[in-house]
Structure 1
Amino acid sequence: MAPPTVVVLFDVDNTLLDNDRITADLTQYLDREVGPAHEREYWRIFDELREELGYADYLGALQRYRLAYPHDSHLLAVSHFLVNYPFADRLFPRALDVVRHAGQWGRTVILSDGDAVFQPRKIEQSGILSAVQEQVLVYVHKEQELEDVEQRYPADHYVLIDDKLRILSAVKAQWGARVTTVFPRQGRYANDPEALRTFPSADLTIDCIGDLLRVDQSRLFPAAGHR
């Protein structure tokens, strides 16, 4: 019998890429370029837009900020900072090694939420795009798109690696034993006490993404009969 087919799904922000550090860098830059009051206003607009859209939209928030402050001469500098940010410098240690290592288990695919411009650029400029051979899915709400994921990347078993227990729980509820959920305790969402109380534990919890290099395959495929 042929071994079961496996697809390994990686989240991006705070899973492979230290998004909290990117946010901190942007906050510092805004504070310097537009001042503390306008920096806070940008993040207010950002949070408002995220509530409307369901995902983070850094460039969209900047566009909305522009409507409120059309004569702010620092706007182009902030745009340049975002578009040319050195995302490869914010990869978690051994993140790309983990992606390549996971290629031994099955097909590796990025499964992310986000906008249609900035999120793909982050994935490309960080080196993640080439590490997964350009296999990337970016949705508004990825946990609601599992049927599409299955059609594009059919498999007997999935491994989902994500820093949000909410996402892991939602996918587990739909795929059940067909998915192994992996929870790297990285970033603010992974350490949110309310989320830790609200959602069940993942199948596997690790301290950092690099720990996957040392995880025995039997812990990832307990029911899949994987080689």
Structure 2
Amino acid sequence: MLTDHRSEAAAVVFLLDVDNTLLDNDRFGADLASTLDAAFGETERKRYWAIYEELRQLTGFADYLGALQRFRSGLDSDPSLLQMSHYLLEYPFAERLYPYALETVAHLRSLGTTAILSDGDVVFQPRKIQRAGLWQALRGEVLVYVHKQQMLVGMQQRYPAAHYVMVDDKPHILADMKRQLGRKLTTVFVQQGHYAAAASSETINPAPDITIACIGDLRRRKLEDFLPTAPVIRLAAD
């Protein structure tokens, strides 16, 4: 059951991205590519990803199921097509959690209200969160938007707080959120996945308040480390 937080303001709310923050979505993408290649061949695998990219440009989020729906054109008699839907919906995302992801979630929950704030579609992304065991770990505290940085008013209505902490692998999204919330938000940049790698040579303004190598680095941090009075810090991997 979802909790109604509107009547009580928390001191601090921790907001966690999912893909390449709590779980290795790049590994999932590689597994999906290999499965498509084995089932349909290289040409059809490339066609799927072309459809996927087209939909991503159109909708603004990753739509694996929508891409599969369009991919079916010309393949209706291929039994592998139905197996692909099963593959996506039953993919073992729990096996793709980064080391200490669940321990980190538990630790942050001991410090304050903690929720997922993710981009994605309304079917596959929640399914991924459930399959990974994150829905249960967060007790259903999950928000999924098309563009989360555009939904900060709704997020604050759902989770009123004196201060927020956003943990994400995309520094540009963190910077956008920081520009909107200012000192009310501490941004934590997790250097995991291809988005983080691509941003390594860029100048991000405003820069993240905290930069860590992996999500597990947060599991021993104190609440004071995340407050606006704390200095800008760079956390090393354990």
The TM-score, its normalising length taken from structure 2, stands at 0.89
- Superposed, which structure 2 residues align to 1:19-98 within 5 Å? 19-67=25-73, 69-98=75-104
**Is 1:181 equivalent to 2:172 in the alignment?**
no
Out of 5, 11, 20, the position equivalent to 2:11 is 5
Match of 1:214 in 2: 220
Provide closer, same or farther for how the CA distance between residues 44 and 7 of structure 1 changes in structure 2, counting only shifts above 3 A.
same
Q: Is the 8 A contact 1:166 1:195 kept in 2?
A: no
Match of 1:17 in 2: 23
**Is 1:119 equivalent to 2:144 in the alignment?**
no
Rounded to whole Å, the distance in 2 between the matches of 1:216 and 1:210 is 14
**Is 1:155 equivalent to 2:161 in the alignment?**
yes
Q: CA deviation at 1:73?
A: 3.3
Out of 139, 142, 156, the position equivalent to 1:136 is 142
Which has the larger displacement, 122-131 or 212-221? Answer: 212-221
Rounded to whole Å, the distance in 1 between the matches of 2:190 and 2:36 is 30
Q: Secondary structure at the match of 1:17?
A: coil
Q: Is the 8 A contact 1:54 1:140 kept in 2?
A: yes
Provide closer, same or farther for how the CA distance between residues 193 and 222 of structure 1 changes in structure 2, counting only shifts above 3 A.
closer
**Is 1:164 equivalent to 2:170 in the alignment?**
yes
Rounded to whole Å, the distance in 1 between the matches of 2:207 and 2:47 is 36
Rounded to whole Å, the distance in 1 between the matches of 2:16 and 2:190 is 11
AA of the residue aligned to 1:170: D
Provide closer, same or farther for how the CA distance between residues 61 and 199 of structure 1 changes in structure 2, counting only shifts above 3 A.
farther
Match of 2:113 in 1: 107
Q: Is the 8 A contact 1:11 1:110 kept in 2?
A: yes
Rounded to whole Å, the distance in 2 between the matches of 1:78 and 1:4 is 43
Which has the larger displacement, 132-141 or 185-194? Answer: 185-194
Q: Is the 8 A contact 2:75 2:81 kept in 1?
A: no
> Percent identity between the aligned chains?
52
AA of the residue aligned to 1:146: L
Provide closer, same or farther for how the CA distance between residues 9 and 218 of structure 1 changes in structure 2, counting only shifts above 3 A.
same
Q: How many residues align?
A: 222
Rounded to whole Å, the distance in 2 between the matches of 1:72 and 1:114 is 28
Q: Is the 8 A contact 2:10 2:113 kept in 1?
A: no
In structure 1, stretches of 5+ residues that fail to align are none
Provide closer, same or farther for how the CA distance between residues 113 and 68 of structure 1 changes in structure 2, counting only shifts above 3 A.
farther
Q: Secondary structure at the match of 1:156?
A: strand
AA of the residue aligned to 1:33: A
AA of the residue aligned to 1:37: T
Provide closer, same or farther for how the CA distance between residues 77 and 199 of structure 1 changes in structure 2, counting only shifts above 3 A.
farther
The TM-score, its normalising length taken from structure 1, stands at 0.93
Which has the larger displacement, 23-32 or 195-204? Answer: 195-204
Q: Is the 8 A contact 2:10 2:160 kept in 1?
A: no
Q: CA deviation at 1:219?
A: 2.3
AA of the residue aligned to 1:49: L
Match of 1:196 in 2: 202
Rounded to whole Å, the distance in 2 between the matches of 1:92 and 1:99 is 12
Q: 4+ residue runs of structure 1 moved beyond 4 angstroms? A: none
Q: CA deviation at 1:223?
A: 3.2
AA of the residue aligned to 1:76: L
Q: Secondary structure at the match of 1:130?
A: helix
Provide closer, same or farther for how the CA distance between residues 179 and 30 of structure 1 changes in structure 2, counting only shifts above 3 A.
same
**Is 1:146 equivalent to 2:152 in the alignment?**
yes
Rounded to whole Å, the distance in 1 between the matches of 2:213 and 2:109 is 21
